[in-house]
Amino acid sequence: MTAIRIATRASGLALIQARSVADRMDRELGAPTEIVPLTTTGDREQGVSLAKIGGKGLFVKEIDEALLDGRADVAVHSAKDLPAVVAEGLEIVAFPRRADCRDALIAREAGLTLRSLRADARIGTGSARRAAQLQNHHPDIEIVPLRGNVATRLKKMDDEDLDGVILACAGLDRLGLEDRIEERIPTEIVLPAIGQGALAIVVRSGDALVKDLTVLDDPQTASAVSAERGFLLRMGGDCTTPLACLAESTSAETLRIRGLVAATDGSRIARDELEVEIEKAESGGAELAERILAAGGEELLAQSRKEVET
């Protein structure tokens, strides 16, 4: 049997994620696999703000191309890296069970939490979403722009004399670095990115693998991420925008969806939430976006786009 080629970013975390999917394909489909690591534009441009060079699509462009030109058969992405609309000719076929969706504080001082940060603490993050919500919660802290893989960011915490850095719990857990987490930040304080903690499996539309790979899908995760991506699509935002959304099951039939858009400095936040039937997950996310846009979100989005352009 020919090996199924799995395209992924070449970072340590992305390779761990891809291998976890490969292991499941071996166990559940009896399919041999081959990992195809690729370096994306987003990975190469480490010294440049994503907002200045095109946003989160830069982490998937080369992987999409490998699928479309036949160099790979399947792609494994962090769901939060996906733009609101996948490339023509491709489709998402599965969302495996989601890991911890929260953000994490890693601090130089053991036992430190957001509540116990000193007023002038220096916190590193490359995320507009995290920065805005942190400054809304702690207006006096200094946000230090930070990019790179997990190891690079942890090293910069020491090299740049930072009090802490904010990273995703899921990535730290997958890397076996959960002992570095001082606080798993409550979602009431920092709402996660769309799709954070989830993986997305993408293939060419119409490929025979479309049907086979549905076995890897977790329906609860798929419904939640579908709601969040519905929100993202209607908001028209990306990782350059202080935008967040999280959908969570409240019963076997319903989802609670929370969303927000913020001023880049955290001085204002437009937020709302609603509960919908799971069957209406995507449209529920879009409805929530409409409500937030009408309640000041449109103005905040326009301002954030203007700031990126300048």
How far apart are alpha carbons 200 and 18 in whole angstroms? 10
Name the residues annotated as catalytic: 81
Burial 91-126 (b: 16+ CB within 10 A, else e): ebbbbbebbbbbbbbbbeeeebebeebeeebbbbbb
Q: Tokens in use for 204?
A: 């060419």
Distance CA 242, CA 79 (A): 17
* Whole-number Å distance between alpha carbons of 136 and 124: 15
Q: 285 and 245 in contact (C-beta within 8 Å)? A: yes
Distance, in Å, from the CA atom of 175 to the CA atom of 181, rounded to the nearest integer, reads 12
Q: What is the DSSP string of 79-127?
A: GGGS-SSPPTTEEEEE-PPP---SEEEEESSTT--TTT--TT-EEEE--
* Cβ-based neighbour number of residue 180 at 10 Å: 16
